Chain A
Amino acid sequence: MRFRYLLREVMTGLRRNITLTLAVMITVAVSLSLFGSSLLVRAQVQEMKDFWYDKVEVSIFLCGDISDSPTCAGGAISEEEKTQINADLEALKPLVETIYFETQTEALSRFKEQFKNSPLAETATIDQMPESFRVKLSDPTQYAVIAAAFAGRPGIEDVVDQRQALDRLFRALAGLQTLALVIAGVMLLVTALLISNTMRVAAFSRRRETSIMRLVGASNFSIQLPFIMEAAVAALFGTTFATGALVFGKIYLIDQNLATTFTFTTFIGWDAVISVIPWMLLAGLGLAVVAAGLTLQRYLKV
């Protein structure tokens, strides 16, 4: 009985207020899509960090015949200097996990592989390629230790931390995520105001019913429940749309576009999308219930 009564009340309320209900659904859908997207961007950054931080190295490029940096004034690096650098790197264990010496031949074949679609690959010659030590660190954040020890040393052209290049990308993505979160926050605020106003209108349009309910001794809870359910149902529809938008984005944007274009990195899987959905539900329903409840406190007093 109670359930059927509640269902009827909620449905009548939603129908009677159809324009405002639609507005609530749309704002919830848009704000939660943004909210969910920002969570997914964060998951993507984490995914890329996990994938790349394992692979990044610090490269110590050595002076060759054609190097023109000031530290290479003495010409190409000598064999003794190379041995000394290797020994110094060995001394930095366990921070230094592995040391790999890349010859000019290897550098050229890697270059050709990386630029195989570009005319650069054709014109590159072996003497343009620098020799380098590829160093893998047990803790990639400790790059400064290597830089301090080797940068500026005669015979060393440059010390490059691949991680720094990645971090620039990650910072850009994090900025994007923050932007999406801020917009989502503003939208959620708008949604809360809209829900509050919707409740005010709903309470007003049913003031006859609610005043009788108060008189015959219906509890506050049972007076407010149909209204709160109304807001929750509208929010649930909105959340469903937002979830659909994320699924759509995962299929069409990530799986069919990004993942086929940028094959060098991994992208978030369905587990990430699924793990975001509960948070969206929580945000959508929580917002609706709290906004509705607070408004009704004012407009449906005992």
Chain B
Amino acid sequence: MRPALDDVSVDIEKGEFVFLVGASGSGKSTFLRLVLREEKPTSGNVWVGGKDLTRLSSWKVPTLRRQIGCVFQDFRLLPNRTVAGNVAFALEVIGTAEKEIESIIPNVLELVGLEGKEDRYPNEISGGEQQRVAIARAFVNKPAVLIADEPTGNLDPETSIGIMKLLDRINKIGTTVVMATHDVAIVDQMRKRVIEIDGGKVVRDQSRGVYGMGAS
């Protein structure tokens, strides 16, 4: 059986913006799962924020995940909570005081461009807005790293550009962003570092790259 990732060696510096590209099943998601310590490598090491995840004891995993924000293609919002409630959820469950939550939420909603929508429910807003809520929730802890797994996969091109601008702004604030994507137009337009994975191996690592070298 072929491993999902094989002999992969990648360095991502603090504050970088990296696209992870490759066909479905190439190993992009496994890469992200390794960073989140949802998966452990059978051999080798994974370093995140100066810590070796292969030696991290499982009770420290929550602490690690507080330093990593996550955004997904399917948004993963709670339908029975409002926009503000969804963002607050991330703080409530790690024990943040209510007063602090109340002061943080408006700022972060403003950052993602959702001011005035805090009392809406997920089914009352557009897909792009839902993804902004998800980004707000991922970013509300001020994580060092933001992981995005095809965040524009369910969005039309125009909305996608808005989301990319938001991610770019978050990156400029100092957050490392690692984004797995299939979106050729976005990768080509952003001209960021591109790591291409194919069959579990890194086949290209290029700064200011495009989606495919002539292939697409």
Contact = CB atoms under 8 A, between A and B. Distances in A.
B49 to A, nearest CB: 13
Nearest to A226: B93
Interface residues of B, number: 27
A223 B62 CA distance: 11
Interface stretch (A82-90, A148-156, A178-186, A207-215): A207-215
B64 A217 contact: yes
B66 interface: yes
A218 B76 CA distance: 16
A220 B67 CA distance: 16
A212 B90 contact: yes
Interface string B85-107: 00001101111111001000000
Nearest to A213: B93
B70 interface: yes
B95 A222 contact: yes
Contact of A1 (B90, B98, B138): B98
B23 interface: no
A302 interface: yes
A11 B66 CA distance: 27
B70 A302 contact: no
Contact of A218 (B94, B98, B138): B94
**Best-surrounded residue of B65, B68, B137 (most CB of chain A within 10 A):** B65
A151 to B, nearest CB: 72
B63 interface: yes
A215 B65 contact: yes
A103 to B, nearest CB: 82
B43 interface: no
B201 to A, nearest CB: 28
A1 B96 CA distance: 8
Nearest to B86: A212
A78 interface: no
A217 B89 CA distance: 11
Interface string A173-214: 000000000000000000000000000000000001101111
A51 B48 CA distance: 73
13 contacts: A1-B92, A208-B78, A212-B90, A216-B65, A216-B90, A216-B138, A216-B141, A217-B141, A218-B93, A219-B94, A220-B62, A223-B93, A302-B62
Interface of B: 36, 58-59, 61-68, 70, 76, 78, 89-90, 92-98, 101, 137-138, 141
Interface of A: 1-2, 5, 208-209, 211-220, 222-223, 302
